[in-house]
Amino acid sequence: MAAIKVKGHEFAAVVIKDSFDRRALQYKNKIITTLRKIGLTADDIDVELEANAAKNAPASASWYIDGHHLHFSYKSGRKYVENLYIVLKVIELEANALLAGQRTQEEFIREFSEDKDFEHKRKEARETLGVAPDVLDIKHIDSSYKALAKKYHPDMPGGNAEKFKKINHAHKILKRELQ
C-alpha cells in the first residue's frame, strides 16, 4: 500500500472501492469525535458531506477553538471520500499530538488557522503564479514560482519588488495548502 505525506505526517493511503457515502459519514463522525476529545462541541465543528462521495471533490473540516477559525482541506485524492479520509488522519494525528503534550494548543491553532476567505486567496495565488485553478502538483507550482521569481527579482533588469513579494506570498499560500 502506498504511503502519503501530508503536513509532515506519513501514513498509508487508502483506496475505497465501495460504500462511499457510508464511509464518508463514518469519517465525518470520526472527525467530530476526535475534535471533541480536545474539548470542542459538535456545534463548533463543520464537516459538510458531498452528496456523492465517489465524486472527485475536495474534502474539508472547519472548527472554532478559543475564538480562532481553524480549517483543513485536502483535494489530491481521486474521490471525495478518499480526501475526507486524509482530512480525518491529519486531524487525528495533530489532535493526538496535542493530547499527548507533543504540541501546544498555540501550535495546534497555528497549524490549522485559516482566514475565512482562504479559498479565494488560493485562487488568487494560482492566478498570480499563472497556473490553472485545479493544479495540485507542487512541482509544477514550484517551477512556475521559480520562473516568475527570477523574472521579477528586484536585482534583475526589469525587476519589480512589489510583484516579487506578491509571487512569494502566493507560493507560500499554495505550499501550505499542498504540504
Q: Give pTM, 2 decimals.
A: 0.69
Q: Which residue has the cell 476567505?
A: 117
Contact 90, 72 (CB under 8 A): yes
pLDDT 10s digits, 77-124: 889 999 999 999 999 999 999 999 999 999 999 888 866 676 788 888
Q: What does DSSP assign to residue 159?
A: -
For the ranges 60-69, 142-151, 167-176, the one whose mean pLDDT is highest: 142-151
State the chain's mean pLDDT as an integer: 88
Domains of the chain listed by start with CATH number: 3-112 (no CATH), 118-178 (1.10.287.110)
